Amino acid sequence: MTELVVNGRTRHVEVEDRTTLAELLRDHLDLTGTHVGCEHGVCGACTVLLDGEPARSCLVLAAQCDGRRVVTVEGWADGDGKLHPLQAAWREAVAFQCGFCTPGFLATAYDLLRERPTPTEAEVRSHLAANLCRCTGYQPIVEGVLRLAGTPIPPPGCER
């Protein structure tokens, strides 16, 4: 039995030992906003916040998450459905097309803005190199992050 907090809610799950966190989220908790691309840590689509830090959910076992805290894309808006500033900035910048990579980018970009509230464009590109996007060419994603430079970044909605 594994006990973990997902998007602010305590969950108890009983899964096979080989189950990854990504599978746990998608197949057992029905949180299908976490997308699985390469399944070996390269593409970044499955990135979530694990104990507040970005992590590849395809490279963490569910069994390793006992007592830990997970935030998926479903946890970023606040209780009223108001988008997190990062989500809003990307909507304004038209920073996605198919949206497959966006949930993963959220966790990585949040980590950067929390550590460096006014990043340079080079720092944004370097940090976001952890995630692949096949639609946008990255420019609007970088622009969206830069729009938030200088404004304090609030935690995900489910953790406020």
Partner 1 sequence: VRPPPFAHVAPRSVDEALAHLAEHGDEAKVLAGGQSLLPLMALRLARPAVLVDVTRVPGLDAVGVDPDGWLRIGATARQRAVERSALVAGHLPVLVEAVRHIAHVPIRTQGTVGGSLCHADPAAELPLVAVAIGAELVIAGPGGERVVPAVDFFRGFLETALGPDELLTAVRFPVVTERTAFAELARREGDFAVAAVLAVGGRVWATGAGTVPRELPPDLDDLDLADDLHGTATWRRRVLERLRASVLA
User: In whole angstroms, how close is the CB of 47 to partner 1 at the nearest point?
Assistant: 5
User: In whole angstroms, how close is the CB of 75 to partner 1 at the nearest point?
Assistant: 17
Between 52 and 154, name the residue whose CB sits nearer to partner 1. Answer: 52
User: In whole angstroms, how close is the CB of 80 to partner 1 at the nearest point?
Assistant: 29
Point out which residues bind partner 1 (CB under 8 A). Answer: 16-18, 20, 23, 39-41, 44, 47, 50, 53-56, 58-61, 63-64, 66, 107-108, 111, 126-127, 129-130
8-state DSSP, 20: B
- Label the pairing between strands 69-71 and 2-6: parallel
Give residue 82's region: left, alpha or beta (phi > 0; psi -120 to 50): beta
